[in-house]
């Protein structure tokens, strides 16, 4: 009994070490690998299936064991479960189309210039300093502008080499780094040769703003840094300033909030057959075959609350407002009016949220060959090697939280064993301690996964993109039959076939078993540890292809390499609309392979603890046919795995 008490204290200590609430450490991941239930060393599989009464019957030449198990599962902490897929691990998100003062202070009015400048383009270099930029009034003259470099508005001496004194900008000349004659209206800067003027290529700068504000020198920038506040026009709800091309700059009024919850549940029928290949007192080789028919349901509920409904079409539009995604003008797509509709829209091929999704399949087949070394009344020990034959389904990423039966269709190999020792045996009562272990390695297969980019942040996969330069040129120009531009949903581009390797996983199950006549009970503690998945693209990413669409107040800027889904990050590169004029600039702003965040498509490493209790009753005289019921609760310290409970009913017998 001292050993029993010691084990109980160890279990209590393990429980106290676990946090009561999950921590949302994993954020914006696109896939979560759930372990196959009813696998070797899992509570519902091993509980009360290997008792001393069964082994006694084995010694009477009854060499086969069978069990049938009906079990079901549902997760708790549904907000934490949904947060695994949300930016920043947030349990609520706000979608606000406005960048004005009503948007929780996320706007900013900044004065960078002073002087007469009209509609001059403003530029900021990456170091945070500002260039003196002038606008040519003829082929030989330019209107000087001054820099607001400090509160007094005094230019800094030799700021970027273009200011020659501390009282005002003095140009020695204007540069020509693109060639061609200067004409009135060109933007120019000084070089050092007096009297020469030419247009200046601004594509090497960042933070470019086209000033269209009423107050000269002041313009609004979307400075939102709160990842929990997003721009709904990224999802096709409403329109960004650049979406209604040729129309006055404005944003569609729309405010909505979601508090997503993820409910995961399943039911299953499992069966195990174990056959001893020797009748020498239960020693020798044995075979074991096990599988389960499982139905998994995933239901992501956005719980949307629309605060400000979407307004009507922009003024001056000659058509009913439609989605800004590709093929919108064919009439095949209906523009979403809410975020709930946006996540279910037909324009998205992947990453959708559209009610409960279910899959019913056979959840893998385990085949083991083992050897029983010892089988006495007070001690038992065996080991096995085996394989896992995949029969479930692979990830397709059509839905943000998709149901997967089995281990994702990965083939695996297994090693493990069972050891049991009698702790106390009286005339009617027997106490024993059992340990089940299982190690498996899951091999690589090919699945479809979605991923973000590194510099553009979490959920960047949902932002609108140009799939290639040709699409940007054709669908970004004026005169294409609509005031709205044709875009491609980023989720359709940032979802690819990937090599996925789950790697290693181990389970350890420690249990105390009580047998008192026909009554049986088992209390156990199960631990599972799993490596993070390794993922890589099946097909090489094509550089100089995909680029994020610009959404700033710039009528000629078509793409933006610095955008995020919560901040429009005004464009760094002015782009000529004419076809063929800007491909090198487009290529510079496009997404390269090094920009991809493939880890966002992988399940993280995880460690879980599962306490459980099973109670049973033996029917026949030999007490070897047992009906039992059990309950377990799996918990993890992070949302890299969801907390859930499981109930099961089991009938096992020997033959």
- Flag whether pLDDT at 119 surpasses 50: no
The pLDDT score that the predictor gives to residue 253 is 79
Residue 310 CA to residue 321 CA, distance in Å, equals 11
Residue 40 CA to residue 268 CA, distance in Å, equals 16
Tell me the sheet residues that pair with 118.
Answer: none
- Flag whether pLDDT at 32 surpasses 50: yes
- Flag whether pLDDT at 447 surpasses 80: yes
- Flag whether pLDDT at 583 surpasses 90: no
Q: Which pLDDT tens digit goes with each residue over 537-551?
A: 999 999 999 999 877
Q: Which pLDDT tens digit goes with each residue over 237-259?
A: 877 655 554 444 456 778 999 99
Looking at 105-109, 232-236, 275-279, 304-308, which range is the least confident one?
105-109
Domains and CATH numbers, the chain: 2-78+265-300+356-391+401-440+510-543+607-654 (2.40.160.40)
**What are the backbone angles phi and psi of residue 606, rounded to the nearest 5°?**
-150, 150
The pLDDT score that the predictor gives to residue 262 is 96
Q: Which has more pLDDT, 58 or 572? A: 58
- Flag whether pLDDT at 639 surpasses 60: yes
CA distances from 145 to 114, 123, 159 (A): 7, 12, 13
Sole residue written with tokens 């009503």: 102
- Compute how many other C-beta atoms are within 10 angstroms of the C-beta atom of residue 225: 10
DSSP structure string for 330-352 = GT-S---SSHHHHTT-TT-SSSB
Round to the nearest angstrom and report the end-to-end CA distance of the chain: 33
Reduce the DSSP state of residue 181 to 3 states and report it.
coil
Those residues whose C-beta lies under 8 Å from the C-beta of residue 374, and which sit 6 or more positions away, are 283, 380, 381
- Compute how many other C-beta atoms are within 10 angstroms of the C-beta atom of residue 578: 9
The pLDDT score that the predictor gives to residue 146 is 36
The pLDDT score that the predictor gives to residue 307 is 93
Helices of type H across 302-437: 339-342
The tokens for 312 are 């009507």
Q: How many residues does the chain have?
A: 655
The pLDDT score that the predictor gives to residue 222 is 63
The pLDDT score that the predictor gives to residue 388 is 97
Mean pLDDT of the chain: 75
Reduce the DSSP state of residue 1 to 3 states and report it.
coil
CA 571 to chain centre: 27
CA distances from 308 to 334, 345, 401 (A): 20, 20, 28
The pLDDT score that the predictor gives to residue 24 is 66
**What are the backbone angles phi and psi of residue 472, rounded to the nearest 5°?**
-65, -40
The tokens for 152 are 């007094």
Reduce the DSSP state of residue 194 to 3 states and report it.
coil
**What are the backbone angles phi and psi of residue 296, rounded to the nearest 5°?**
-110, 135
Q: Count the helices and strands in the chain (H runs, E runs).
A: 8, 33
Q: Which pLDDT tens digit goes with each residue over 589-600?
A: 899 999 999 999
Q: Assign 552 a pLDDT band (cuts: 50, 70, 90).
A: low
Span 2-19, average pLDDT = 49
Tell me the sheet residues that pair with 74.
Answer: 265, 645
Those residues whose C-beta lies under 8 Å from the C-beta of residue 534, and which sit 6 or more positions away, are 500, 501, 503, 602
Dihedral Cα 98, 104, 105, 107, nearest 10 deg: -20
Those residues whose C-beta lies under 8 Å from the C-beta of residue 574, and which sit 6 or more positions away, are 121, 202, 203, 208, 210, 554, 556, 557
Span 353-358, average pLDDT = 95
CA distances from 512 to 52, 273, 433, 435, 526 (A): 13, 23, 5, 9, 12
The tokens for 246 are 């040729």
- Flag whether pLDDT at 189 surpasses 50: no
Residue 377 CA to residue 58 CA, distance in Å, equals 12
Helices of type H across 264-417: 339-342
Q: E strands within 443-502?
A: 445-450, 452-453, 464-466, 488-489, 495-501
The pLDDT score that the predictor gives to residue 213 is 33
Nearest CA-CA partner of 615 in 630, 594, 600? 630
Residue 609 CA to residue 607 CA, distance in Å, equals 7
Those residues whose C-beta lies under 8 Å from the C-beta of residue 446, and which sit 6 or more positions away, are 394, 497, 498, 499, 500, 538
- Flag whether pLDDT at 155 surpasses 50: no
Q: Which pLDDT tens digit goes with each residue over 469-498?
A: 888 877 765 444 445 567 889 999 999 999
Q: Which pLDDT tens digit goes with each residue over 379-398?
A: 888 999 999 999 999 999 99
- Flag whether pLDDT at 322 surpasses 70: no
Supply the DSSP symbol for 590: S
Sole residue written with tokens 């260039």: 131
The tokens for 123 are 């530029």
Nearest CA-CA partner of 22 in 543, 606, 585? 606
- Compute how many other C-beta atoms are within 10 angstroms of the C-beta atom of residue 135: 19
- Flag whether pLDDT at 418 surpasses 80: yes
Which of the listed ranges 185-199, 234-248, 255-269 does the model predict with the highest average pLDDT?
255-269
Q: Which pLDDT tens digit goes with each residue over 80-100?
A: 999 999 998 899 999 988 765
Sole residue written with tokens 């009344």: 377
The tokens for 303 are 């719980």
The pLDDT score that the predictor gives to residue 329 is 42
Q: Which has more pLDDT, 147 or 397? A: 397
Dihedral Cα 109, 307, 231, 326, nearest 10 deg: -140
Residue 178 CA to residue 22 CA, distance in Å, equals 57
Those residues whose C-beta lies under 8 Å from the C-beta of residue 645, and which sit 6 or more positions away, are 73, 74, 76, 631, 632, 633, 634
- For residues 227 and 566, the answer to whether their CB atoms sit within 8 Å is yes
Q: Describe the strand order of the beta sheet including 495-501 as a list of residue ranges.
A: 445-450, 495-501, 534-537
The pLDDT score that the predictor gives to residue 566 is 84
Whether the predicted model's global pTM rises above the 0.75 cut: yes
- Flag whether pLDDT at 263 surpasses 80: yes
Those residues whose C-beta lies under 8 Å from the C-beta of residue 643, and which sit 6 or more positions away, are 22, 75, 76, 77, 80, 633, 634, 635, 636
- For residues 463 and 565, the answer to whether their CB atoms sit within 8 Å is yes
CA atoms within 13 A on the CB side of 47: 32
3-state SS of the chain: helix, strand, coil percent to 5? 10, 40, 50
């Amino acid at each position: 009994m001292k050993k029993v008490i010691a084990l109980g204290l160890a279990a209590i200590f393990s429980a106290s070490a676990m946090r009561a609430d999950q921590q949302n450490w994993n954020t914006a991941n696109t896939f979560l690998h759930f372990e196959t239930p009813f696998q070797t060393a899992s509570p519902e599989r091993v509980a009360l299936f290997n008792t001393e009464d069964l082994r006694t019957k084995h010694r009477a030449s009854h060499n086969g064991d069978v069990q049938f198990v009906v079990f079901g599962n549902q997760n708790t902490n549904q907000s934490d479960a949904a947060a695994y897929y949300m930016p920043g691990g947030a349990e609520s998100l706000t979608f606000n189309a406005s960048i004005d003062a009503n948007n929780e202070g996320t706007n900013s009015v900044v004065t960078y210039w002073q002087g007469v400048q009209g509609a001059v383009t403003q530029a900021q270099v990456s170091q945070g300093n500002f260039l003196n930029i002038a606008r040519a009034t003829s082929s030989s003259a330019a209107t000087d502008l001054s820099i607001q470099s400090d509160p007094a508005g005094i230019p800094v001496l030799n700021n970027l080499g273009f200011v020659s004194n501390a009282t005002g900008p003095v140009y020695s000349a204007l540069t020509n780094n693109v060639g061609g004659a200067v004409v009135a209206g060109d933007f120019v800067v000084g070089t050092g040769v007096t009297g020469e003027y030419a247009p200046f290529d601004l594509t090497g700068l960042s933070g470019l703003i086209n000033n269209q504000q009423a107050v000269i020198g002041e313009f609004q920038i979307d400075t939102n840094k709160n990842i929990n506040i997003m721009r709904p026009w990224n999802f096709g709800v409403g329109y960004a300033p650049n979406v209604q091309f040729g129309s006055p700059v404005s944003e569609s009024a729309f405010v909505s909030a979601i508090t997503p919850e993820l409910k995961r549940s399943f039911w299953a029928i499992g069966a195990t057959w174990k056959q001893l290949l020797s009748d020498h007192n239960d020693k020798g080789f044995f075979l074991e075959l096990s599988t389960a028919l499982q139905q998994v349901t995933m239901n992501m509920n956005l719980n949307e609350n629309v605060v400000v409904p979407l307004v009507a079409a922009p003024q001056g539009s000659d058509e009913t407002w439609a989605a800004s995604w590709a093929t919108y003008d064919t009439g095949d797509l209906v523009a979403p009016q809410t975020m709930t509709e946006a996540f279910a829209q037909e324009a998205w091929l992947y990453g959708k949220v559209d009610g409960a999704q279910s899959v019913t399949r056979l959840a893998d087949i385990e085949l083991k060959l083992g050897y029983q070394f010892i089988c006495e009344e007070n001690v038992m020990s065996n080991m096995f090697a085996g394989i896992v034959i995949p029969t479930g389904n692979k990830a397709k990423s059509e839905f943000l939280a998709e149901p997967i039966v089995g281990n994702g269709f990965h083939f695996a190999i297994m090693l493990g064993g069972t050891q049991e020792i009698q702790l106390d045996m009286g005339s009617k009562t027997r106490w024993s301690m059992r340990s089940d272990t299982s190690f498996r390695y899951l091999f690589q297969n090919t699945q479809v996964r979605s991923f973000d980019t590194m510099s553009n942040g979490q959920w960047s996969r949902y932002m609108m993109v140009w799939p290639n330069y040709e699409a940007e040129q054709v669908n970004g120009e004026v005169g294409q039959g609509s005031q709205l531009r044709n875009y491609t949903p980023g989720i359709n581009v940032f979802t690819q076939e990937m090599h996925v390797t789950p790697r290693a996983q181990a389970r350890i199950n420690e249990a105390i078993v009580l047998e008192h006549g026909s009554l049986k009970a088992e209390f156990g503690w199960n631990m599972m540890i799993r490596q993070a998945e390794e993922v890589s693209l099946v097909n090489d990413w094509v550089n100089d292809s995909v680029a994020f669409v610009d959404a700033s107040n710039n009528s000629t800027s078509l793409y933006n390499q610095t955008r995020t889904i919560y901040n429009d990050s005004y464009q760094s590169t002015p782009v000529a609309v004419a076809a063929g004029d800007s491909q090198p600039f487009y290529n510079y702003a496009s997404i390269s392979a090094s920009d991809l965040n493939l880890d966002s498509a992988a399940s993280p490493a995880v460690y879980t603890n599962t306490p459980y209790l099973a109670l049973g009753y033996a029917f026949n005289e030999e007490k070897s046919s047992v009906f039992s019921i059990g309950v377990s609760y799996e918990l993890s310290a992070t949302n890299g795995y969801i907390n859930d409970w499981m109930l099961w009913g089991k009938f096992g017998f020997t033959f």
